[in-house]
Chains A and B, each alone.
Chain A
Amino acid sequence: QKEVEQNSGPLSVPEGAIASLNCTYSDRGSQSFFWYRQYSGKSPELIMFIYSNGDKEDGRFTAQLNKASQYVSLLIRDSQPSDSATYLCAVANSKLTFGKGITLSVRP
């Protein structure tokens, strides 16, 4: 079993819609969870991090964490074409481990 899994994708949503990105992880001891956005040919940029169960909101982005289910998600409200990118879920123990990413396309 892979440590961090992002199975769905690619994802295409119309402009203004909500995009929902999901991620599961295998290590129950994981403490910190991150969502990164990566544009083609560029380095990842941090969108959000979350440590505690529940929701964390930052502007149009909401991260949700459920440690019992070993599940973390990212919701993007009012999706914009500029949100089109690859979204990487990452889990931290002593190091940061990434999922394979989900490519999101927002249609104008």
Chain B
Amino acid sequence: GAVVSQHPSWVICKSGTSVKIECRSLDFQATTMFWYRQFPKQSLMLMATSNEGSKATYEQGVEKDKFLINHASLTLSTLTVTSAHPEDSSFYICSAREGGDGYTFGSGTRLTVV
């Protein structure tokens, strides 16, 4: 079946630094990738939708200059959290869609900003 690899699985960074998270579709080409954020005991909140070769579409309330998304190829999307602060600490999850309703999730990245 479709596999999405997400790295790193966890990261700790200092406040003010930037962190990059990678999401790769290993055995299919993802026309669209999605980035979610999940705070403890809450559901997944969609942050942005990215299509290969075009700018990401951000959900209302998500700062596009803070959460930089690059979808340079059909198998790779990256999320960079710039100038991270403790309130950015969360579980970030990517999802890739090959076509139709085939959504495959990465394993998630636990970000802790200290």
Contacts of B34 in A (CB 8 A): 95-96
Whether the Cβ atoms of A43 and B42 lie closer than 8 Å is no
Whether the Cβ atoms of A99 and B107 lie closer than 8 Å is no
Contacts of A97 in B (CB 8 A): 46
The answer to whether A29 has its CB under 8 Å from any CB of chain B is no
The dominant DSSP class at the B interface is strand
Total interface residues on B, CB under 8 Å, equals 18
The answer to whether A44 has its CB under 8 Å from any CB of chain B is yes
Closest to B104 in A: A46
Total interface residues on A, CB under 8 Å, equals 20
Q: How far is the CA of A24 from the CA of B34 in the complex (A)?
A: 23
Q: How far is the CA of A79 from the CA of B34 in the complex (A)?
A: 32
Whether the Cβ atoms of B107 and A92 lie closer than 8 Å is no
Q: How far is the CA of A100 from the CA of B97 in the complex (A)?
A: 22
Contacts of B54 in A (CB 8 A): none
Contacts of A46 in B (CB 8 A): 103
Between B6, B44, B49, the greatest number of chain A beta carbons within 10 A of the residue's beta carbon is seen for: B44
29 cross-chain CB contacts under 8 A? A31-B101, A32-B101, A34-B101, A41-B110, A42-B107, A43-B6, A43-B105, A43-B106, A43-B107, A43-B108, A44-B44, A44-B93, A44-B105, A45-B105, A46-B103, A88-B43, A88-B44, A92-B101, A94-B49, A95-B34, A96-B46, A96-B95, A96-B103, A97-B46, A98-B43, A98-B45, A99-B43, A100-B43, A101-B43
Interface of A toward B, CB cutoff 8 Å: 31-32, 34, 41-46, 49, 88, 92, 94-101
